[in-house]
Structure 1
Amino acid sequence: MANLNRRDALKLGALASGSLLLPISCQSRSYAKDAGSPQVRPFTQQLRIPPVLSPVRSDDTTDYYEVTMRRATVEILPGLKTEIWGYNGIAPGPTIKQRRDRQSVVRFINNSVGTPTSVHLHGMASLPQYDGYAEDFTNPGQYKDYIYPNNRPATLWYHDHALHNTARNVYMGLAGLYLVYDDLELGLPLPKNEYDVPLVIQDKQFSSRGSLIFDDQGEKSQMGDVILVNGVPWPNMKVANRKYRFRILNGSASRSYNLSLSTSEPFTIIGTDAGLVGAPVQVSNFRIGMAERYEVIIDFSKYKVGTKIVVHNDHPDNNIEYDGTDRIMQFEVVRTESDPSSIPPNLRDYQPIAESLAVRTREFRYERSNGLWVINGKTWDIQRFDANPQLGDVEIWRIFNNSGGWFHPIHIHLIDMQLLDRDGKPPFAYERGWKDVFYVGENESLRVIGRFGPNTGAYMSHCHNTVHEDHDMMNQFMVGTGGPDPITTAPAQPLPAPPL
C-alpha cells in the first residue's frame, strides 16, 4: 500500500470506525441502571491469563518477536459474538516477558484492521522513532520493527497511539502487557510464576447483538457498563490459600477505579508504574487512573476454603455509575497449599530526588476551552514544543486541573518521575514510587520531579483519558537538541516483510 499523508490516514481511521462500531443513534440507551448492554451474571466465568509470546528467534543480545494486528470475532458476552481488533487477534494481546538490558525487536504488522496504527510501549525509555509517536503511522499493508532496550524492570504495556484514533483503537482491543524483570526482583521471595498474575481492567459497552459500541459522549468520555478483566466480564479466579502478586493495569478509556476488598482486608502495594517501590505499603483501598499500574500482594491464607472475596470499586468522582460497575471480579479460595513466598521489608533502593536539584519549574494547565481539550490553552501541534529540557536536567513540572467536572491522568513519555505533592500535601502512601502517570483530580494541582534522559529528541505528554488525548489534549517536549526524527528515522515499510 502506498504511504498515506496525515489527512488521508485520519480519513481512513474514520472510515474504519464507521464500518465496525455501531453508531449510538442506532442503539437503545438507558442511563439509569446500565448503558444498554446485554445482562451478564457476575462471577460465572473464569479469569483467563493472556498467553506469553515466544520469540521467533534469539541471539546473544536480542529476542525477536512478531505481532500482527488482526480483526477477530470472539465471545466476550456468553452466547454473543463480538468483533475486536487485537494483537495476534486477541484482547488483551499476548504478554511479552523480557530480562533487563536484553534488547528486543518487536515487529508489528498492520494488515487487517483497516486503520493506521502506531504502537507505544508505555513506560519504556525508547528512542523517539520507536516510542509510538502519534503521527508515526503504520498504515494498512505495512509493518514496523520497534527496538526496545528493556532498561527498566517494571509492568509496562503496549497499546495503539495513532493520532485522533487512540481511544477507539485501544477500546477495540489494541493493548497488551510487557513485563521486564531483573535479577534483583527475581531474587526476592515474592510470589512467582502462576502466583504472579496480570489483571487488565477495562469497561465496555455492547449492543444487543454483542458488537462493541464506542460512544465518547460528545468527545468527553467513553464509559461502559460491563467490566472486563483480561477480556472476561466480572470473572471469578480460583485461588489457593496463600499469597498472590497481582499486576493491575487500568486499561480503560475514561474510567478510573477505587479498589477495595469485600472482606476489608488490606492490599499490600509493592509496585507502581515504573516497578517495585522501596518498601511495601498496606492500604485498605487505592485509586487507579487510566494507564496507571499498581502491583499488589493479596494474602488469602487467612481465608477458609470456600471463601469468596469480591474486588469492589468505590466510584471516584466524575465516573458514570451503572449497576455493575461497583464490582470488578471475585476470588474464590478452592484449595490449601504451602506458601514459600514472603514480603521483604525492603524491595528496592528508592531515593527521592531533592527539589534543590531542579534547574527550573514549568507549569501546565489541563483545561476545557471552547469545546476543546487544551494544555496551556493550546491543542496538539506537531511543529510546537512546549518544553526543552537539556539532557540530564532535573525539572519540576506543576500540573493544574482547574475544573471540578473531570479528572486527568497525565502521562509523560520517556522518563519516570516522582510525585512531590498534591495541593501542597504529601502524596498518598501508595503513590510514593517511580511513576509515569499522575492522577490529577478535580481542582487539583500536582508537582512532579524528574531527570530528563537517557535519550534526546521529541517526546509527547498528554491526558490518558484517551478521548481527551484524541481531541487534542496532547503536547510535546524536546530533550536536548537534535535527536532522531520520530517519523522519518525508522518509518514503516510495505508488506511483505522479510524474515526477522
Structure 2
Amino acid sequence: MVPVPHEPPPPGPGSPSRRRLFQAAGATAAAAFTPHLANSQVVPVRPPSPPTTPWAQPLPVQQPITPVSGLSPLASLIAGARECGRADHQAFARFPPQELYKVEAKVGSHSFHPELPTQEVWGYDGQVPGPLFHARYGKPILVRFENKLPNALQGFGSPDISVHLHNMHTPSESDGFALDWFSPAACGPTLARPGEYKDHHYPMVYAGLDAYGGIGDPREALGTCWYHDHRVDFTAPNVYRGMAGFFLVFDHIDTGNENDTSPVALRLPSGEFDVPLMIADKHFDSGGYLMFDQFNTDGFVGDKPLVNGKIQPFFHVAPRKYRFRILDAGTSRTIDLQLMYQNRPQGFQHIANDGNLFEAPLSRTNVHLGIAERADLVVDFSKFPVGSELFLVNRVLQLDGTKPEKDFLTTPIQLLKFIVDRPMQGFDPSRVPLKLREQPPINLNEVVATRELSFTRTRGSWAINDKLFDGKPILSPKKGTAEIWNLRNLSGGWAHPLHIHFEEGRILTRNGAPPPAWEKGRKDVYFIGPNENVSVFLRFRDFTGKYIIHCHNTIHEDHAMMGRYDIVS
C-alpha cells in the first residue's frame, strides 16, 4: 500500500486564505453589485443577456466515446509515478478493467448560439457537454483524466479539478472527493498535487457485492448517470464553464437494444432514439460572452435556457417512441417540465428517476427536477400528425438562486422544439413494458442508527448541523449496515437538492407522509423545500473510504454545505 502524500488542504470555507481570495476578486467586481442589507449579501445587478432567435440551430446528439487501445504509463492498482496522489484501487484486482478511456480537461471553442460569439469554454475533451459514455455492468472500465487546463486562473472557476461520476457504486478513490483535486500538468511538481493525470477505476458492479455475490444485486442497477467537476469551493463555476457529461449504463434488462430477443430485455427505445438532454441556464454579458457570479452565496440563475449546450435548439423526430434522459445540470435553477402541443400538455411515460428504473412506468404530464435530478421519459410521437411541432417547456417561476416560486409561469419557457417530420424506417420495435425493474426490499431490521442532519444558514454561509465543510468526517457508518438519515431543511426560505454520494437511498417519508409515486424508487438526490423533512433509508456496502453529502445547488455546496462521511470496516 502506497500512502497518499500528506498535503495541506486547499483553502476551506471561511478560512482566511479563502476570504482573501473572495475579497480580492470581489473588489474587481464591485461595480457589478449593490448591497442587500437584509441578508448582508450582495446581489447582482445584471442587464439581460443579448437577445437570441429561438430554433436557430439543431439539437446536438452525441455518439459514444471510443475506448483507446492502451495507456502509457500503464494503469495499475497503485498510483504511478506520473499520477497524482490517490489511494490504491480497492476493486482493481477483482474487477480488472476491460476497456480503457482517456479524457482531457481542457479549453475548447464553443458556440452557444449563432447570434453570439464563439468563445472559450472548459470542457472534457474541450467540448460541451463532455464525451458521452456507454458502459455496461460486468465490463469494468478505467478512465484516465488528464488536466490540460491553463495553469493560472482566467476569469471565474479554478483550473484544479476533481471528477465525480454521479452516482455509480464506485470505490472512494475514484469517486471524485472534493479535496482530491489535482492541478494542470503544466504546473509541474511544485504544487500540492503533482501529477499529469488521475486514473478512475469503475468496476461496473451493482451494489450488494458481498451479500449477493457475482457483480452484485441487479435490482440495484443505474442507467442515466453523469460526471462533472467537484473541486472544493469551485464546483459551481467549473461545471458552469462546461465540465459535465453523460454516462449511460446498460445491463441484461436495460440492454440498449430495442430489437433484443431476450425474454428479460425491456426493449426500450435505443440507439438514435435514446437521447440524453442536459438542461442548464446561462447568462451572457453585453458582448455575448458567458458570465457568472460566484460571490452571491444564495445561488445563480441565468436567463438563457440551454439543451445540450445550445440555446433553444430544435430536433427533428420520427413518428415513433423516443427515450429522453433528462438532467437538470443548472447551478441553482429548479425546473418543472411539460411537453406542449397546440398549447396543451401532452402525456408521456415516466420510467426512471435519478437514473433508476421504476418498478412500473408512470403516466404523467409533468416532471419536477431539482439540480442534478434526472428523469427518463418515453414520448410517442406517432400520436401526432406529420409536420407537428411540440415544445418541451419549463413552467417554474424562479427569480433568484434561493428556490422556485409557488406560482407557475403564465407563459412557460420554451426549451426545445420537436418537429415530427423524419421518415420512418420500417416499424417501431420499441416498447414500454408494464414491468420495468424489480425494486430491492427495504429491511428496517438492518438499521443500526438514525441520524439527524439539519441544513442551515450559518455566518453567511451554508452548513450541515451548523458546521461548515472542513474536510473532516462528520459521520462514520459501518460497512455492511443500514441507517436512516433524517434530512431537515432549517435554512428558512431556501430549497436544497441534497445529494448523497455512493449509495442509492429510499425515501421513507416526506414531511411525515409516504412519498409520491415518483419518489418511491431508488434515488440519490433529495429535493427539500423550505422547512421540509425527508427521511431516507441508506445502506453502506462493499467498499470503504471517504464520501460526501452536499447540496447540489452548487453555490451552496461551495459555501459550504457539504459534509464528509467515512464508511469504515
TM-score w.r.t. structure 2 length? 0.78
2:413 to 316, 326, 329: 326
Aligned AA for 1:172? R
Distance in structure 2 (CA, Å) of the matches to 1:217 and 1:314: 28
Q: Rate the CA distance shift 1:54–1:27 in 2: closer, same or farther, 3 A.
A: farther
**Conserved in 2, the CA contact under 8 Å of 1:250 and 1:293?**
yes
**What's the offset of the Cα at 1:351?**
3.1
Q: Rate the CA distance shift 1:230–1:476 in 2: closer, same or farther, 3 A.
A: same
Task: Tell me the percent identity.
Answer: 38
Q: Could you say which residue in structure 2 is the equivalent of 1:428?
A: 516
Per-residue CA deviation, residues 181-231 of structure 1 (Å, 9 max, x unaligned), is 101111212101000000000000111222211114621111000011000
Q: Could you say which residue in structure 2 is the equivalent of 1:254?
A: 332
Distance in structure 2 (CA, Å) of the matches to 1:296 and 1:44: 25
Task: Tell me if 1:156 matches 2:168.
Answer: no
Q: Could you say which residue in structure 1 is the equivalent of 2:372?
A: 291
Larger Rg: 2
Task: Tell me if 1:75 matches 2:111.
Answer: yes
Q: Rate the CA distance shift 1:394–1:277 in 2: closer, same or farther, 3 A.
A: same
Task: Tell me if 1:138 matches 2:226.
Answer: no
**Conserved in 1, the CA contact under 8 Å of 2:395 and 2:409?**
no
**Conserved in 1, the CA contact under 8 Å of 2:347 and 2:363?**
yes
Aligned AA for 1:104? I
1:417 to 489, 500, 505: 505
**What's the offset of the Cα at 1:381?**
1.7
**Conserved in 2, the CA contact under 8 Å of 1:227 and 1:324?**
no
Deviates more, 1:257-266 or 1:53-62: 53-62
**What's the offset of the Cα at 1:262?**
1.4
Aligned AA for 1:66? K
Deviates more, 1:211-220 or 1:197-206: 211-220
**What's the offset of the Cα at 1:425?**
2.0
Aligned AA for 2:462? W
Distance in structure 2 (CA, Å) of the matches to 1:404 and 1:260: 29
Q: Rate the CA distance shift 1:301–1:129 in 2: closer, same or farther, 3 A.
A: same
Q: Could you say which residue in structure 1 is the equivalent of 2:250?
A: 181
Per-residue CA deviation, residues 430-479 of structure 1 (Å, 9 max, x unaligned), is 22211111111122110111211221111110000000000000001111
Q: Could you say which residue in structure 2 is the equivalent of 1:41?
A: 53
1:223 to 301, 304, 313: 301
Distance in structure 1 (CA, Å) of the matches to 2:121 and 2:354: 27
1:339 to 428, 433, 437: 428
Aligned AA for 2:250? Y
Q: Rate the CA distance shift 1:452–1:307 in 2: closer, same or farther, 3 A.
A: same
Distance in structure 1 (CA, Å) of the matches to 2:149 and 2:176: 19
After superposition, where does 1:23-38 map in structure 2 within 5 Å? 23=29, 25=31, 35-38=47-50
Distance in structure 2 (CA, Å) of the matches to 1:316 and 1:407: 14
Distance in structure 1 (CA, Å) of the matches to 2:351 and 2:270: 14
Deviates more, 1:309-318 or 1:261-270: 309-318
User: Any gaps of 5 or more consecutive residues in structure 1?
Assistant: 482-500
**What's the offset of the Cα at 1:406?**
1.4
Q: Could you say which residue in structure 1 is the equivalent of 2:555?
A: 467
Q: Rate the CA distance shift 1:474–1:330 in 2: closer, same or farther, 3 A.
A: same
**Conserved in 2, the CA contact under 8 Å of 1:34 and 1:322?**
no
Distance in structure 1 (CA, Å) of the matches to 2:198 and 2:44: 45
Per-residue CA deviation, residues 325-374 of structure 1 (Å, 9 max, x unaligned), is 72221111113523111110001111341334322211111111221100
**What's the offset of the Cα at 1:161?**
0.5
Task: Tell me if 1:104 matches 2:104.
Answer: no
**What's the offset of the Cα at 1:62?**
1.4
Aligned AA for 1:239? V
Q: Rate the CA distance shift 1:334–1:113 in 2: closer, same or farther, 3 A.
A: farther
Q: Could you say which residue in structure 2 is the equivalent of 1:390?
A: 478
**What's the offset of the Cα at 1:45?**
1.5
Distance in structure 1 (CA, Å) of the matches to 2:404 and 2:437: 35
1:88 to 125, 136, 141: 125
| Higher RCO (C-alpha 8 Å, min separation 6) | 1
Distance in structure 2 (CA, Å) of the matches to 1:217 and 1:226: 20
Aligned AA for 1:469? E
Deviates more, 1:322-331 or 1:71-80: 322-331
Distance in structure 1 (CA, Å) of the matches to 2:150 and 2:533: 39
Aligned AA for 2:560? D
Task: Tell me if 1:237 matches 2:315.
Answer: yes
Q: Rate the CA distance shift 1:108–1:305 in 2: closer, same or farther, 3 A.
A: same
SS at match of 1:205: strand
SS at match of 2:272: helix
Aligned AA for 2:9? R
**Conserved in 1, the CA contact under 8 Å of 2:32 and 2:45?**
no
Q: Rate the CA distance shift 1:471–1:392 in 2: closer, same or farther, 3 A.
A: same
Task: Report the RMSD for the aligned CA atoms in angstroms.
Answer: 3.0
Deviates more, 1:44-53 or 1:252-261: 44-53
Distance in structure 2 (CA, Å) of the matches to 1:146 and 1:241: 40
After superposition, where does 1:52-63 map in structure 2 within 5 Å? 52-57=64-69, 61-63=97-99
Q: Rate the CA distance shift 1:404–1:300 in 2: closer, same or farther, 3 A.
A: farther
Per-residue CA deviation, residues 6-27 of structure 1 (Å, 9 max, x unaligned), is 3489989x989x99xx958469
**What's the offset of the Cα at 1:67?**
0.6
Distance in structure 2 (CA, Å) of the matches to 1:129 and 1:355: 29
SS at match of 2:475: coil
**What's the offset of the Cα at 1:390?**
1.1
**Paired residues, number:** 475
Task: Tell me if 1:126 matches 2:215.
Answer: no
Q: Rate the CA distance shift 1:476–1:5 in 2: closer, same or farther, 3 A.
A: closer
Aligned AA for 1:415? E
User: Any gaps of 5 or more consecutive residues in structure 2?
Assistant: 35-42, 72-95, 152-158, 186-195, 206-220, 256-264
Q: Rate the CA distance shift 1:330–1:111 in 2: closer, same or farther, 3 A.
A: same
1:455 to 543, 559, 564: 543
Q: Rate the CA distance shift 1:346–1:33 in 2: closer, same or farther, 3 A.
A: farther
